[in-house]
Amino acid sequence: MQQDDTSKLKYRVETVEKTTPPEGMPGDNWHRYVVGQGSSKVEGKKPGTLKDVTQHAEDFAEILNSRTGKGGSTYAPRKKA
């Protein structure tokens, strides 16, 4: 029986945690999130509630999955004149 590896190929929210704001940014309600797929990680910071930032990270993971699910690269070389 062959194991289904599709779940390993999806980006998922790995962490969302309270953090300090980026330098020069106002406010004190910032969260750091990590979206990952295996060794590939994307980290971001966003102001807002834990719930709002978690939703943002989940939406972001879904966008990444929709891009990678189509196969191939998003890189498109320019035509040479």
**What integer pLDDT is reported at residue 69 of this predicted model?**
66
Closest CA to 33 of 55, 4, 3: 55
CA–CA gap between residue 15 and residue 36 (Å, rounded)? 9
**What integer pLDDT is reported at residue 80 of this predicted model?**
64
Q: What is the pTM of this model?
A: 0.73
- With a CB cutoff of 8 Å and minimum separation 6, the contacts of 34 are 13, 14, 15, 41, 42, 43
**What integer pLDDT is reported at residue 9 of this predicted model?**
72
Type and span of the H or E element at 15:
strand 12-19
pLDDT, averaged per 10 consecutive residues of the chain (81 residues), comes to 56 97 95 95 97 98 85 58 58
**What integer pLDDT is reported at residue 81 of this predicted model?**
58
CB 60 within 8 A of CB 44: yes
